[in-house]
Amino acid sequence: MNVFWFIPTHGDSRYLGTSQGARAADFDYFQQVAIAADTLGYDGVLLPTGRSCEDAWVVASSLIAVTRRLKFLVAIRPGLSSPQLAARMAATFDRLSGGRLLINVVTGGAPNELEGDGVFVDHDTRYEITDEFLHIWRDVLTASHTKDSIDFEGKHLTSKGGKVLYPPVQDPHPPLWFGGSSPAAHEITGEHIDTYLTWGEPPAAVAQKVADIRARAAEHGRKISFGIRLHVIVRETEEEAWAAADKLISKLDDETVERAQASFAKMDSEGQRRMSALHGGKRGGREQLEVSPNLWAGVGLVRGGAGTALVGSPEQIVARMKEYEELGIETFILSGYPHLEESYRFAELVFPLLPNRLRKSSSGPLSGPFGEVVGVDQLPAAAVSQS
């Protein structure tokens, strides 16, 4: 089981839908979150993409030198850049980071945002472009290890003598990740993708996706890994966790929720439609927003994309994670508000319960204080292992 965290380049706060409790999302803060994730033993971090965020490639590049082992899941956007340019960027990042790059292929987005970026094609055409983009991207990076060039002529994209002179560390290329709920997205996954990433739907819905994508991958003679993107609200007791969930949306009003939902309704994303359907745009308590045991849809009232959170005690969170793991999920990409504090909370409460996940430190074995000294000369009692 791999566990990733999230760099909140579109902002962070203690409450959703308001500036109350917000904090500056700047380089110092991104650096703090990245160092925390690296030190605490998370396997990697996801950086979001889109005009609502700081640029993912610039931010990720700025964090290479302040981390040691952390992997960076960074987006490429078919249709917004050429596959050859994206391949050179990936190869450079992979070399400079020592092979710590993962690629998140992002095809969709809000139509008005895509049009603002110069993309004027419909949903299925975007996936046609993605297919051709990935053929070129994969081929040119694979060929970089032998110094060869590639030719490709498609319906939308063409490459003549495409070449990357300096290959990535990872051979043949950094792994490709991808999320999407439409049939076109699943077909792209089956042919090109290494890890399929779903948003946090109830286990039965995730199981259907996993089965469909495995079948499509098998048609291409391939096997796929799976990940899930979730928020998490963990506290020492279940009661405290649900109280924290209620508090997170306590500053929301109906007008703010309606404006957010109106914006989501304009999207042609099947994944966003499925997220919105979980809560129906209605605020309420646990009985309305708990869409599966310990799975809460409150975040999606105002946040686009991943809109569900695991809520509960450490033992409940682990139980839910293991349910997804039994379906084939290997990687959990998590986040919580605020992201710095919650990265520590999750690591301290949940990591000790996860099999084979010992506390890791980027600086080596523990050698200094671990818990405050009792009196002036006594070390605190060692915690009893719960694993």
User: Distance between CA atoms of 106 and 317, rounded to whole angstroms?
Assistant: 28
* CB hemisphere CA count around 313 (13 angstroms): 6
The DSSP letter of residue 78 is B
Domain assignment present for residue 368? The answer is no
Domain assignment present for residue 343? The answer is yes
Q: What is the pLDDT of residues 25-43, one digit of tens each?
A: 999 999 999 999 999 999 9
Number of domains in the chain: 1
Q: What is the pLDDT of residues 228-262, one digit of tens each?
A: 999 999 999 999 999 999 999 999 988 888 888 88
pLDDT given for residue 362 in this prediction: 43
Domain assignment present for residue 219? The answer is yes
Triad 117, 119, 123: Cα angle to 5°: 130
Q: Which domain holds residue 295?
A: 2-76+179-353
Highest mean pLDDT among 222-226, 360-364, 380-384: 222-226
Domain assignment present for residue 166? The answer is no
User: Distance between CA atoms of 336 and 345, rounded to whole angstroms?
Assistant: 9
Q: Report the DSSP pairing between strands 101-105 and 22-23.
A: unpaired
CATH code for position 257: 3.20.20.30
Identify the CA nearest to 137 among candidates 73, 78, 72.
78
Domain assignment present for residue 200? The answer is yes
Domain assignment present for residue 156? The answer is no
DSSP string for residues in 242-254: HHHHHHHTTT--H
Residues 6+ apart with CB under 8 A from 277: none
Domain assignment present for residue 154? The answer is no
pTM of this structure:
0.92
Q: Which residues pair with residue 296 across a beta bridge?
A: 290, 309
pLDDT given for residue 361 in this prediction: 45
Mean of per-residue pLDDT scores for the chain = 91
Q: What is the pLDDT of residues 301-330, one digit of tens each?
A: 988 888 999 999 999 999 999 999 999 999
Domain assignment present for residue 284? The answer is yes
